[in-house]
């Protein structure tokens, strides 16, 4: 194995907008068999939008939206942006005791009411009965929308269905990776039904959903313990531990600095085409050395 050809492989990758940390990273990238993708912002655009609102108990939509948006003022989650955007310039009540429940949602008090906003796991954990919204939840999730539930004083009163479409070039890039023989896996904190619907659209083989932020590195470790050589592709601060655990961490361009610092490979463009380019170059480089 000549170090020179590896260096030239790193240089060639750069021409494709792929920054490889060192020779070792390029070598490890040539032996991968499993690619794990973060969903939000990696497979999808990361710009979710509300597509439907369902309320119960005669609560009107704009009132539900006002309360949900009040809570989301304190959150930087992409789902929070979708809810705030829909609320527009409505005047929002002040929130006291705001809390972020990582991977679950947000809570606080406003106008004398206790508010809880997030996924079904959060409402279940807080013993809130979601029965009145369960049908709508299942229907929206099976279409690939993320259901966000609002509870007021311990009662589930509204559901916001939020869609984050696949990136335009995701399907073609994933198809290319499939043809190259990789097993493709989605890793997400989102609802399993929603995740499966999106995975099907994307042509992904396996879904690991409902994972809390701290569980993502463990999910990678589990795949490795099954003998797989794993790359993790992500863009967020939340993805950093999983990027570090993977045999090769790949950060999408324009993502968080923490992701980029942790990853062995960084894509200059925010596109999955770069993943296919990076892996093809690593294989070609290592093949030439034999
Ligand atoms: P992802 O893997 O998509 O980055 P997260 O761990 O950030 O997922 O969140 C998992 C789930 O928790 C979301 O799909 C959503 O249902 C819920 N959630 C998290 N943060 C919020 C929030 N600010 N508002 C509403 N729901 C949230
Ligand atoms: Mg992401």
How many structural domains compose the chain? Answer: 2
User: What integer is the mean pLDDT of 17-22?
Assistant: 90
Q: Is the pLDDT of residue 1 over 70?
A: no
- Kindly indicate whether the ipTM for this predicted assembly is greater than 0.95, answering yes or no: yes
Q: Is the pLDDT of residue 7 over 80?
A: no
- Residues with C-beta less than 6 Å from any ligand 1 atom: 39-40, 72, 75, 77, 79-80, 103-106, 117-119, 146, 148, 188-190, 213, 238
3-state SS assignment for residue 130: coil
Q: What is the atom index within ligand 1 of the atom nearest the CA of 75?
A: 23
Identify the active-site residue in 22, 24, 33, 38.
Answer: 38
Q: Where are the beta strands (DSSP E) in 60-215?
A: 96-101, 105-110, 113-118, 146-152, 155-163, 183-187, 206-208
Which residue's CA lies nearest to atom 9 of ligand 1?
A: 103
User: What integer is the mean pLDDT of 266-279?
Assistant: 92
Model confidence pLDDT, tens digit, residues 275-290: 999 999 999 888 876 5
Last residue of a domain, one of 113, 138, 163: 163
Mutate to test the pocket of ligand 1, among 148, 151, 198 (most ligand atoms within 8 A of CB): 148
Nearest-ligand number for the alpha carbon of 140: 1
- Please tell me the predicted confidence (pLDDT) of residue 2: 67
Length of the chain: 290
| Residue 199 shares a structural domain with residue 271 | yes
Which candidate, 146, 211, 198, places its Cα nearest to that of 167? Answer: 198
- Please tell me the predicted confidence (pLDDT) of residue 255: 78
Last residue of a domain, one of 163, 196, 222: 163
Torsion of CA 68, 69, 71, 77, to 10 degrees: 100
| Residue 280 shares a structural domain with residue 193 | yes
d(CA 34, CA 194): 22
User: What integer is the mean pLDDT of 242-262?
Assistant: 91
Q: What is the CATH number of the domain that holds 137?
A: 3.40.1110.10
Structure tokens at 90: 């409505």
* Spatial CB neighbours of 259, under 8 Å, sequence gap ≥ 6: 234, 235, 236, 237, 239, 240, 243, 251, 252
CB of 272 closer than 8 Å to CB of 278: no
Q: Is the pLDDT of residue 71 over 60?
A: yes
222 or 257, greater pLDDT? 222
Which candidate, 99, 132, 135, places its Cα nearest to that of 117? Answer: 99
Q: Which residue has the tokens 């999983």?
A: 242
| Residue 68 shares a structural domain with residue 99 | yes
Model confidence pLDDT, tens digit, residues 141-158: 999 999 999 999 999 999
CB of 63 closer than 8 Å to CB of 92: no
Task: Judge whether 38 counts as a catalytic residue.
Answer: yes
Model confidence pLDDT, tens digit, residues 31-46: 999 999 999 999 999 9
CB of 251 closer than 8 Å to CB of 235: yes
Nearest-ligand number for the alpha carbon of 255: 2
Q: What is the atom index within ligand 1 of the atom nearest the CA of 190?
A: 14
Within 10 A of 9 (CB to CB), how many other CB atoms are there?
24
| Residue 134 shares a structural domain with residue 171 | no
Q: Which domain holds residue 246?
A: 3-45+166-289
State the DSSP code for 61: H
Q: What is the CATH number of the domain that holds 185?
A: 3.40.50.1000
User: What integer is the mean pLDDT of 170-175?
Assistant: 96
Which residue's CA lies nearest to atom 1 of ligand 1?
A: 189
């Amino acid at each position: 194995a000549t170090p020179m050809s590896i260096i030239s492989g790193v240089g060639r990758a750069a021409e494709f907008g792929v920054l490889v940390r060192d020779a070792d990273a390029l070598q490890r990238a040539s032996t991968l068999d499993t690619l794990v993708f973060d969903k939000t912002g990696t497979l999808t655009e990361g710009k979710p939008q509300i597509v439907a609102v369902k309320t119960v108990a005669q609560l009107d939509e704009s009132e539900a939206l006002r309360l949900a948006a009040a809570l989301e003022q304190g959150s930087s989650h992409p789902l929070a942006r979708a809810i705030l955007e829909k609320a527009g310039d409505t005047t929002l009540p002040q929130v006291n005791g705001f809390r972020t429940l990582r991977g679950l949602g947000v809570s606080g008090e406003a106008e004398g009411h206790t508010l809880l906003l997030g996924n079904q796991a959060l409402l279940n954990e807080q013993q809130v009965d979601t029965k009145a919204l369960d049908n709508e939840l299942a229907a929206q999730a099976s279409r690939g929308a993320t259901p966000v539930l609002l509870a007021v004083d311990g009662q589930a009163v509204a559901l916001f269905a939020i869609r984050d479409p696949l990136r335009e070039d995701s399907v073609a890039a994933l198809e290319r990776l499939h043809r190259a023989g990789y097993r493709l896996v989605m890793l997400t904190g989102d609802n399993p039904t929603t995740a499966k619907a999106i995975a099907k659209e994307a042509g992904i083989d396996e879904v690991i959903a409902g994972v809390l932020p701290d569980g993502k590195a463990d999910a990678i470790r589990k795949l490795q313990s099954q003998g797989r050589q794993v790359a993790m592709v992500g863009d967020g601060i939340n993805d950093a531990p999983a990027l570090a655990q993977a045999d090769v961490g790949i950060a999408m361009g324009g993502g968080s600095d923490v992701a980029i610092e942790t990853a062995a490979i960084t894509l200059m463009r925010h596109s999955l085409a770069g993943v296919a380019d990076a892996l093809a170059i690593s294989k070609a480089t290592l093949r030439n050395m034999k």
